[in-house]
Structures are given as C-alpha cells and as structure tokens.
Structure 1
Amino acid sequence: MTDHDEAGAVRPSTLAWVSRQLKAGERIVRTQALHGGITAEMRRLTIGTQHGDTRDLVLRSFVDPSFVEHAEDLLNRETDALTYLAGTRVPAPGPVAVDPTAAQCEYPSLLMTHLAGRTVLDDQGLETRIPVLARQLVAVHALRPAERPRTYEAWTTADAVVPPIGADAAAWAAAADVIRKPPPSYEGRFLHRDFHPGNVLFDVPSPSLAGPRITGVVDWVQTSWGPADLDVAHCSTNLALLHGPMWGLRFAEAYEEAGGVLAAAEDERLYWRLLDALAFASGVPWVARPWREAGRTELTTRAVEKRLDAYVTILMDALG
C-alpha cells in the first residue's frame, strides 16, 4: 500500500505508469509533495525494493493549463538535457521515463532520479555559498553539447513591463528603454536558463567542517543556448530579491572571479541584467510564494517588489 499525504497523492494513471517503469519486485511505498516549484507539481516517490531497501525517484507533472500546452517541448528539452548531463561532471538528475503528451498519465510527466541535498535560501552563510554557486554556473557554461539546445527566449519586452506600485517611475522607464534596443551580440553558451538558489541542492555541513558543497542542479526545462550574461543575470535577480539588491551585484563579480567571462561593455551587461530583472515585475507573487513556503515568511509580495525596485534602480545607477 502506498503511504502519502493528500498533497503528495499521485493520480491513478500516472501511478500505474510509474509502476511500469520500476524493476521487478519493486513497488511505490510512499509519495510526498516537494515544495518550491512554480510551474509544475513535484513528487518524491519512495520505492521499496525486493531486498527490503528503498530508493527515491522524483516525478514532475505539468497540471496548470497554461503550462500543459507547452509541456511536450519543456519535458522533451529537459529529458534531452538530463541525458546529455549524465556524461558530464555537472550533477543533475538522471531521466527514467517521460510521457510528454500525457499518452499514459493524467498530465504530461517526467520521472527522474532523486538527488541528495537540499535547497538553502537563508541569509546565513550566503557569503560562502555565492562563490560555490558561481563556480557551478561557470562549469555549466563550459559544456559544449554536440547538439545545441534552442536559442534563448526573452521573458519580457519593453512594452510589457509594468513597474511595481510605488516604484521609481523614471528609473523603470529608462530601464525599459535599455531593453527596447536590439540585443547585443554574444558568444553562445549552454545555459541552464533558470539557475538560482531554488534550483540548486547543497550538502551543508556544520561550520566546523568544510564549506557548502553542491550535490545537484535541477529543473532543466528551460535549457537554452545564449549569452552567459543571461544566466548570471537570472541568478543575480533571484539573489537580489531573496537577500537584498547588493547581493545581485556580488554574484556577477563572483562569476568572473571563478573564471567566467561576461560582456566586455557595461551597456551590454546592463542590457542582459535588465532583460531578466524587468521580467520579474509581473511574476513577483509566483516567485515569492515558494520562498515563503520554504520558511522565508517575511518575503511578502510587497517586500519582494520593493527589493526589485531597489535592484533595478541600483543597476541603472551602477551600470547605466
């Protein structure tokens, strides 16, 4: 019998599909909802083996209608990325099975291996984690797959940007004008495209032992080909909203200290930073919710909007 709480329940057809992917003598003994995801339902499945041991798998299912229509592309892209990453030194889940069109499951789904570690979103210890995050992203950008993923997509346009209530109108108008220009030329890199602390698993030892170690990078559905600046910009924005605007600036410095190469011209760097930051304006409630679920209850929508406004203003002052 499967043990699960209501939030962790897996729908019947999907449960049957998962069961068909298991080894002889194995069965699902527990399902548990994983929090932190924005676009999909995530479940941790504990599998009992015929020898009395257990192992864990992770199930991603797209259930929101706005994402179901894109699920086939997203899940195929993630499956391709995970298959490629299995032969690299970047720690990522391994694909087990995929049903991108919901031919057998209630919703489009991907079954993958489970990685040890946990996400760390606290302010404490951030200074030691940022260089580790930066080194991991440099390693991602060093990958050269034989077949490139699709070219990145911008997640906003100048005309679509709506500043948060009370934002610095002049700074936001000037920022929108920056991304109204054609994108700068760039040297293409393999991008995670959604690299941030919520998609990185850490093994965090006690302070008396070695520093934090990354055990996995997850959520590869947006894998793309594009400028390293864009991945750095996305992690920078997340750090600015999670921990304060200056930490967003710090991450770009850490990336270069780790050997990463960013655009040489400041106006080009500013373009990519703002292209990402301004895209958050309409999505703050979505972004802040999993952070609060993870314990950062002070990060209300309004609090995060204020940090976003401050970050955009600082970018315009520092690089504009």
Structure 2
Amino acid sequence: MIELPNRALEWVVDSVCPGAKVTSVSRLLGGTSSLIHSITLQTGQEEADYVLRLINNEEWLQEEPDAAWHEAESLLFASDSGLPAPQLVACDQSGEACGMPAVLMTKISGSVVLRPENPDRWLGGLADTLTRIHAVPADGFAWQYAAYIDLETLEAPEWSGLSSEWTRAIAYARDRRPAAKTCFIHRDYHPANVLWTGGSVSGVVDWINGCRGPAGIDVGQCRSDLAQLYDVATADAFLSAYEAAAGKTFAYDPYWDLVALIDTLFGPPAVFSGWKALGVTGLTDGMMAERVDAYMLSLLKRI
C-alpha cells in the first residue's frame, strides 16, 4: 500500500462513508501535474473504488488557485450531461482538510490503450467519444478557453532548424483566429486520458481543464499527441474519423491545429512522461522534435 497523508485518507473516508475501511491504495500511472491515487473502501460487505487527486504543483496553483474547484465543476457538468466521466464525490478546494487541494471522484473501469490491435477502430472510438463531448452546449459553464502561450511574444523555437516555417506558423496563429461556435470541451483530450474496456471506450478522465470553447482545439490537441506518439498519417486519420462522426456540426480549420501544437512550445519536444509510465518504449526526444516539425509542415500545407 502506498501511503498517503492520514488526514487525506480520513477525508476520503468521511466523504464517502464514515467508518468505511481503506483496503488498498495505489498510485495511478500517467499523472504528471498532480498526485493521483486509486483508493478502495469497504463499507459493510461491499467494496468500491475511488480516485483521489492531490494538487501539489505550487506553480500551477499560483496561476490557478481554483484548480480543484474547476475540476469538480467540470466533473459535475460532464456527468450531468451524460458523458462517460467520473462522478464527483467531494472537493477540498483550499486544501484545509487534505493538506493540499483535492478532488475525490468515482473510479471508471477500463485501461488506457496506446498500442491498439485495431488502429482504425481505436481512432474511431476516440473520435466518436470526442463528438459526444462537443455535442454538449456550454453557454452557462464558468470556465472559458484561452491559449496557454502568448502568441504576441512567441518566437520560432531554437531547437528546430525550420525557423522560417515556424515563424510563418506562429504568425498565422497570431493573426488569423476565425470565428467559431463554442461547446463543452475537455481541453486535454488525448489517448492517455481515454479508458477502454473490451474494445470500446469506457470513460474519459482528467477533466481539470474542462471549459467552453471551440471544438477544433480539442481535435487539434489529440492530433498533436497522435503525431508525436505515432506519425502525421495517424493524426490525419483521426481527423477523418472525427469529421465523419461529427458530420455537418464541425467545420475544420487548420488554425486550431496550429494553435494546439504551438501551445506545447514551452521548450524542446520531449517524450511525454505519461507514455513512459504507461509502457510505451522506443521513443526519444529527438524523435519527438522530428515529428513535431513534420506535423507543423503538414499543417502549413493546409493553410
């Protein structure tokens, strides 16, 4: 059993059922911005599994002190809308009870699949699930999409040998923002946040950035991840699958792909630590740089 602070475990028990017995605690793989644990509680003769997020990233909390409340509201909104999301159990926004801001939720069965036996079916499941999220109106949701990077001050990345191409891509993202219908978006939709059971999607996790915004930014986020995890062809196949699932409700614009990609330019591309934790081997930081450049060039051909 991986130990958590006693106060956090006591809060979990009190939030679910005072007197329940903690039978197991395990750290979940893939989390990179907070501590995420699976906790099993026994109440009488029944056991149930829960997920506890403890937000221990001080820099993040300085920028978003309401991060725990944000996820709690996203979970409520998603579950109330019939989406395959965990159910909110409790939220410790200030961290007074747990020692750090915390969100307690139900645990969805299933596992992350990053090396699918049937890639086409897998991409179709990712696309279909995302269209379900985007079908939810979000006019009344408090949080709104914003880019992570300041495009006004961003320059071509030094790690790439394609300075002129990146300059063109950044200029396009800075100057060409189109009008776009808003809907509920996950804001961090990628394969490591989607769970599968028996070849079908069982749930979507990590709703801490959920907000109202353009569907294209979610599509672009997933495409960017797929281009790095696999290649441009896989990213393009996902776009085709999403367009087929969304039909006339979605009008593709490469702008959102570019912005989603540029949102990751905090430094030289590196293998996502979550992929490593989930068993993906053979990737290198050099491969990520090559794939990011190749994906960016593919997007320039679309504008």
- Please report the TM-score for the alignment, with normalisation by the length of structure 1: 0.88
Deviation at residue 304 of structure 1 after TM alignment: 1.5
What's the counterpart of residue 73 of structure 2?
80
Residues 289-311 of structure 1 show CA distances to partners (whole Å, capped at 9, x for unaligned) of: 11112111222222222211111
Go from structure 1 to structure 2 and tell me whether the alpha carbon gap of 1:164 and 1:49 turns closer, same or farther (over 3 Å shift): farther
Aligned to 1:105: 98
**Which residue pairs with 2:84 in the alignment?**
91
1:169 to 137, 150, 163: 163
- The answer as to whether partners of 2:55 and 2:68 remain within 8 angstroms in 1 is no
**One-letter amino acid matched to 1:156:** I
Q: Deviations along 1:203-232, whole A, 9 cap, x unmatched?
A: 1x3xxxxxx211111111111111111111
**1:164 Cα deviation from its structure 2 partner:** 5.9
8 Å contact 1:164–1:309 — kept in the other structure?
Answer: no
Give the secondary-structure state (helix, strand or coil) at the position aligned to 1:57.
strand
* Shift of residue 257, structure 1, vs aligned partner: 0.3
> Alpha carbons of 1:161 and 1:78: their partners in 2 closer, same or farther (altered >3 Å)?
farther
8 Å Cα contact 2:156-2:170 kept in structure 1: no
| Mapping of residues 141-180 of structure 1, within 5 Å | 141-145=134-138, 147-158=140-151, 159-163=153-157, 165-180=159-174
* Superposed displacement of residue 145, structure 1: 4.4
Query: Which position in structure 2 is the counterpart of 1:114?
Result: 107
Matched-pair contact (CA < 8 Å) for 1:148–1:225:
yes
2:16 is paired with a residue of what secondary structure? coil
* Alignment-derived partner of residue 248 in structure 1: 235
Residues 149 and 263, structure 2, Cα contact 8 Å, conserved in 1: yes
CA distance in structure 2 between the aligned counterparts of 1:192 and 1:309, rounded to whole angstroms: 25
3-state secondary structure, aligned to 2:71: helix
Moved over 6 A (4+): none
User: Matches of 2:235 and 2:158 in 1, distance apart?
Assistant: 19
Larger displacement relative to structure 2 (139-148 or 193-202): 139-148
Pairwise CA distance, 1:124: 3.8
Could you tell me the TM-score, scaled by structure 2's length?
A: 0.92
The AA in structure 2 aligned to 1:301 is D
Residue 181 (str. 1) matches residue 175 (str. 2): yes
Counterpart AA for 2:172:
V
RMSD after superposition: 1.9
Identity, in percent, stands at 29
Q: Which of 255, 262, 265 lines up with 2:250 in the alignment?
A: 262
Partner of 2:30: 36
| Cα displacement (A) at 1:178 | 0.7
Match of 1:48, as an amino acid? Answer: Q
Change (3 A) 1:199 1:68: same
SS in 2 for 1:259: helix
1:284: Cα distance to partner?
A: 6.2
Q: How far did 1:149 drift? A: 3.4
Pairing 1:199–2:193 present? yes
Residues 292, 298 of structure 1: 8 Å contact kept = no
Q: SS of 2:66's equivalent?
A: helix
1:131 corresponds, among 97, 113, 124, to 124
- Residue number in structure 2 paired with 1:232: 219
Counterpart secondary structure, 1:129: helix
Q: Which amino acid aligns with 2:206?
A: D
The answer to whether the 8 Å contact 1:164/1:305 transfers is no
Match runs of 1:282-301 below 5 Å:
282=266, 288-301=272-285
Structure 1 residues 22, 172: CA separation in 2 closer, same or farther (over 3 Å shift)? Answer: same
Distance (Å, rounded) in 2 between the aligned partners of 1:138 and 1:289:
27
Segment drifting more, 122-131 vs 89-98: 122-131
Whether contact under 8 Å (1:21, 1:97) holds in the other structure is yes
Given that residues 71 and 101 in structure 1 are in contact (C-alpha distance below 8 angstroms), is that contact kept between their aligned partners in structure 2?
no
Distance 1:223 1:252, change over 3 A: same
Contact 2:271–2:284 (CA<8 Å) still a contact in 1?
no
SS in 1 for 2:164: helix
CA distance in 1, matches of 2:73, 2:80: 12
